[in-house]
Structure 1
Amino acid sequence: MRLRIVTLIAVITIFLPLSSQAGKLYKWVDDKGQTHYTQTLPPSDAHRARSQLDEQGIIVNEVDAAKTEEELRQEAEQERLRKEQQRLVEKQLAQDRVLLRSFRSEDDIQMTRDGQLQSVDTSIRVTQANIKRLKLTLEEMQQDAAKRELSGRKVSKKMLQDIETKRQALEDAYRSIIDREHDKNRIRQSFARDLKRFRELKKLEQSNDPIQEARASFSTALQNVYHCQSGDTCEGPWKRAKAYLKAHSTTPIKIEGENIVITGEPVEDDDISISVSRINDRKKGTLVIFMDLQCKIISLQKRLCNNVELIKSIKQGFRNELAKEGKLSQSLP
């Protein structure tokens, strides 16, 4: 130990004349762990950590080793993440301020939500009325075409085009209902998040999970919609959908095409009319099979049918039936 101290003093003494001229002496360690004392760092070692000594050999400044490219990359990424986090915090705070200014209570949130849902429901009812008219018109056109064929007259190209146009309009109307249900889901999800956050900010009891309830409502609303797998032509489920229609509709089939089957309008109080169609869901980019149920309305004010529970049961079983693989289900009545 004494020998090392003497050696260090000797080295510093040797460099004192130089240091008095240059005013700098650096201490640094190479890759082999050897300590060096120099007035300048070799260019190849300029990246190393070093200490600057004064004339008495006391450290007056320290310089960290230069960062590697990977360290610089990680440092930049950390800075980016910190800025992004700060941006999200500021955005959330701004949203919280808007939320608290917009609503004074949970009831305010729910009433605003219900108002928007009611607006969409009104649009759906208008579309449903249009569907009913389209069905009747299409049925009349099909019957007229059939009568012409039976009488030996040729069905004109224009009549066939008109029938196809009505079919396309009917499919578009079904597609519109699916789109509106997606709109209702977005409304429910948005207000569910607002309600949950409002309760957190006001420190109110979270008696239920509004987000989970919104998801459940969407699933219930689309019980009559079956989504095919991406790229699937849906042949198996489509066959099962037609079998399901025949098993549950109380009115006879009036129109049967490649992608649509329609039964007659309900006449008796207990009648159930079912239509199924295979259409494109523009929101998901896949084929869907849509089932439309109609009954004879016995209460115009409440829009109730005579067989509400049976219709509910038919809707609940639709997707499960179409999801079955292999042969058509033997459980169909």
Structure 2
Amino acid sequence: MKLLTKLCLIILLLISFQSNAQQFDTALEYLEFLGEELETVTKSTWKYTKAVAHSKSDRNVNNKRKTLIKTVEKAISKIEKAKAYNNDDYKNNVLKHIRLNESLLKQDYAKIIDMKAVAEQSYDLMEAYILAQELADKKMADSQAEYEANFYEYAAKHNINIIESDNDLGKKMTISNAVFNHSNALYLIFFKVYINEVYLWDAIKNNDVSGIQQNANALNQTAKEGLEILKTIEPYKNDKSIILATKAVFDFFIDETENKIPVIADFFILQEDFKTIKNTLEKTPEKKRTKPQVDAYNKKIKEINKAGTIYNKTNTKLNTERQKVLEKLETTKAKFLDRHIPKD
């Protein structure tokens, strides 16, 4: 009797599950159902991956990632519960693709966010960060292409007419990846030079004359090498905008190191000389100070005051010009992406 009761309960549960599972009368209804679920997830995931590269708030990006993961999990659950039309294996192909999206969000892009936090510390870290992005994007694009092939195969199998268009997400991804690859390649060329200016200004903040001269030479050399590399870069669809904006930054770095940094370095050298004269004078009892000592001290004060004025003007001009060329590069890059990335 107990065995019969348990068996009845299992049968009731199976009936209940089957009645709640979504079922489809035609292959078209089934294809549309899966397509709608998948399109929402894939488009959202693709938009998110682009936000990773451009958002200034890593916390905001990470919160979006967690929200999107929940959306993907719901879609997977909904598809899993739906009854496949004629027990077709197409459902498994769709789930494979959507689970790839889930894996990218939970693993690849979680790592990418962490990599972004430290990417600007060195060229190697920046290169690794950009490469990780490109690999994740390629995984998604390849998976999308495989999904679309299965989609058209399923439609053909059931005599469903699908009108292809340039709006297909797979085509958008292919185009977008080519655009981002061009932009990323130029950014790495820029960053390899730019990181030397970061080191240079660290030395300036620390009044490190030796470091200033060493990093200024490195910046000058890499900027000139960068200009030569830019000459070899093929523009994307004849669009030279980022190339030219990057060139303007390198030209600024060369002028900075050849004409402005020597003024700054001379000021710090003069400061060191003044400290030496001042310390010597202060250690000498007032009654024993000689006229040449006092004259040298007073002369050095005038020199350092004059040099200080020139230093401040030079520094202010450098900051203004640097901000101008770097902002121009950022604006140019944003406009380039806006021009060439397919719209939704």
- TM-score (normalizing by structure 1): 0.27
Q: From the CA coordinates, give the structure whose radius of gyration is larger.
A: 1
Higher strand share: 1
Higher helix share: 2
Task: Tell me which of the two structures has the higher relative contact order, counting C-alpha pairs closer than 8 angstroms and 6 or more residues apart.
Answer: 2
- TM-score (normalizing by structure 2): 0.26
